[in-house]
Structure 1
Amino acid sequence: MQIIELLKAILLGIVEGITEWLPISSTGHMILVDEFVKLNASEEFKEMFFVVIQLGAILAVCLLYFNKLNPFSPKKTKQEKLDTMQIWYKVVVGAIPLGVIGVLFDDKIDEIFYNYQTVAVTLILYGILFIVMENRNKGKTAKINSFQDLTYQTAFMIGLFQVLSVIPGTSRSGATILGAILLGSSRYIAAEYSFFLSIPVMFGASALKLVKFGFNFSSMEIAILLTGMIVAFLLSVVAIRFLIGYIKKNDFKAFGWYRIVLGVLVIAYFALIA
């Protein structure tokens, strides 16, 4: 039985690691996978697990972008260190809206929106928005092509888009990338800023869930959580590298179509078993 639960944690870690960084909603996929592969754990533990597993994904960003995000590197000039600090300041500004909403309404949001119906609708809605956005922006030149071009006002506005991700199925990366591109960012900067925004947001969300759950874990719960986090870390490294390489030559339409098809399949499946 314990081995089966660890295999489930591995599967969930794979899903988290792949979907966290692609604009297709990791939480939405985790909810859907849980419909078919249910962890033998309390609802409180699963709710916490689906958030805290993201810490593994975050470590992948910290590893891959350590040099770019490290303002204390002796290899950097004084100006480069200042530029790095500017990135962090803009990340903090962008994280404020979601941080406030998360602290104030976390439980209420889970109570209202944590279901497959919401996931299906938001998958389809944002899938359509991605396709519309790419058609609208076709042939246009991005105004924001570096973090120096990203103003604090724009960073905050992208943070407002990130608030939409509290609804499962929206996708945190999807909401921030969509918002950034609509505000004039290149796909590359939109994706990287989305990665960086995830660091304070996910650490904060994980801390909040851990405090609410408490730290009285059973040995099996610790094993499940660590297994999921490690697998999520490994797959996140792959997913981030894939996305950065993909968007250099492609737009986000494929993700839009994927979301629409998946949303329709979810609605069809649950309609059949109802």
Structure 2
Amino acid sequence: MSDSMLQLVKAFFLGVVEGITEFLPISSTGHLIVVGKWIEFTSTEGKAFEVVIQLGSILAVMWIFRQRLYKLVGGTLSRDPAELAFMRNLIIAFLPSAIIGFLFIKIIKSLFEPSTVAVTLVLGGLIMLWVERSRPDGRQPGPDVTASTLEEISWKQALIVGFAQCLAMIPGTSRSGSTIIGGMLAGIERKTATEFSFFLAMPTMLAAAGYDMYKNASVISSADMIAIAVGFLSAFISALLIVRAVLAFISNHTYRVFGWYRIVLGLIVGLWLYRLG
């Protein structure tokens, strides 16, 4: 197999990894960084590959929730109060990461290392286990859940989710994990927090991928573009298969299993890096 063909096979594999992990609270970017190093995948300049192929996953979730998106857009245009509130909350939750990401993009990209991933996987797993132990039924310690549907989320809860999403800029933290746990701590029911996380991913990742493509357009080669296209397609297909499974799973289970997975994987990655010296 030629080197160029092997590179495309690796890009396809990483796309599958992205599609499976994007909407699980285990960090898709962290997995891409660690697996990419493991299979010796040569990433694009500026780490654009890891960000841009996430478009495949986002478009998959947009397709799955297309009816709800039509309702959101139509309701916003017709000034339906519930849909206007939902749109307002998405904008509020989107802004913190958009501002911080724009200001500190170079610092954030410098953290795209397996060692960072190992640490944040373990820390995130411990936090996830603590939250789930505090809220075994999806409820906040103390007051009951105040938002059981997307329409019931308040602007204050949306803002908390937005600031929680900023933590996900550190590789290994997990965008979905940060926003879901942040939502649960803010008083949003687990399944609703997960759905809101999915919707928030749409503007967040579309903006991140678009910005990365714009900034790196001059240094991305034709071979890089082919690799990105292959990873994009495999991410799209695999995400189509995983999103509904995630929603079905969290309807009857907690996120504890993912907390333990993160801790074990983080320790394995740390040991692997230590052995590499």
Q: TM-score, normalised by structure 2?
A: 0.91
Alignment partner of 1:108 is 2:107 = yes
The alignment yields a C-alpha RMSD, in angstroms, of 2.1
Secondary structure (helix, strand or coil) at the match of 2:71 reads coil
Alignment of 1:138-177 (within 5 A): 138-139=136-137, 140=139, 141-177=144-180
- In structure 1, the partner of 2:135 is 137
Report the Cα distance in structure 1 between the residues aligned to 2:266 and 2:253, rounded to whole angstroms.
23
Report the Cα distance in structure 1 between the residues aligned to 2:268 and 2:41, rounded to whole angstroms.
23
Report the Cα distance in structure 1 between the residues aligned to 2:28 and 2:48, rounded to whole angstroms.
14
Report the Cα distance in structure 1 between the residues aligned to 2:78 and 2:134, rounded to whole angstroms.
37
Secondary structure (helix, strand or coil) at the match of 2:24 reads coil
Identity rate, percent: 35
Report the Cα distance in structure 2 between the residues aligned to 1:264 and 1:41, rounded to whole angstroms.
24
Report the Cα distance in structure 1 between the residues aligned to 2:79 and 2:133, rounded to whole angstroms.
36
From 254, 259, 262, give the equivalent of 2:262. Answer: 259
Report the Cα distance in structure 2 between the residues aligned to 1:148 and 1:73, rounded to whole angstroms.
14
Report the Cα distance in structure 2 between the residues aligned to 1:170 and 1:41, rounded to whole angstroms.
20
- In structure 1, the partner of 2:66 is 66
Q: State the Cα distance separating 1:211 from its structure 2 match.
A: 1.6
The residue type paired with residue 190 of structure 1 is A
Alignment partner of 1:17 is 2:15 = no
Whether the 8 Å contact between 1:71 and 1:85 is mirrored in structure 2 is: no
Whether the 8 Å contact between 1:69 and 1:84 is mirrored in structure 2 is: no
- In structure 1, the partner of 2:30 is 28
Q: State the Cα distance separating 1:108 from its structure 2 match.
A: 1.3
From 187, 209, 214, give the equivalent of 1:211. Answer: 214
Q: State the Cα distance separating 1:217 from its structure 2 match.
A: 4.3
The residue type paired with residue 84 of structure 1 is E
**235-244 or 141-150: which moved more?**
141-150
- In structure 2, the partner of 1:240 is 243
Secondary structure (helix, strand or coil) at the match of 2:153 reads coil
Whether the 8 Å contact between 1:98 and 1:162 is mirrored in structure 2 is: yes
Alignment partner of 1:201 is 2:204 = yes
The residue type paired with residue 109 of structure 2 is D
Whether the 8 Å contact between 2:72 and 2:87 is mirrored in structure 1 is: no
The residue type paired with residue 129 of structure 2 is I
Report the Cα distance in structure 2 between the residues aligned to 1:216 and 1:265, rounded to whole angstroms.
34
Residue 106 and residue 228 in structure 1: after superposition, are their counterparts in 2 closer, same or farther (change >3 A)?
same
Where do 5+ consecutive residues of structure 2 fail to align?
Answer: none
- 1:10-37: CA deviations, max 9, x gaps? 1110110011100000010011011112
Whether the 8 Å contact between 2:122 and 2:262 is mirrored in structure 1 is: yes
- In structure 1, the partner of 2:116 is 118
Residue 117 and residue 60 in structure 1: after superposition, are their counterparts in 2 closer, same or farther (change >3 A)?
same
Report the Cα distance in structure 1 between the residues aligned to 2:201 and 2:42, rounded to whole angstroms.
29
Runs of 4+ in 1 over 6 A off after TM superposition: none
Q: State the Cα distance separating 1:72 from its structure 2 match.
A: 7.3
- In structure 2, the partner of 1:92 is 91
Report the Cα distance in structure 2 between the residues aligned to 1:41 and 1:154, rounded to whole angstroms.
37
> Number of residues paired by the alignment?
270
Q: State the Cα distance separating 1:225 from its structure 2 match.
A: 0.8
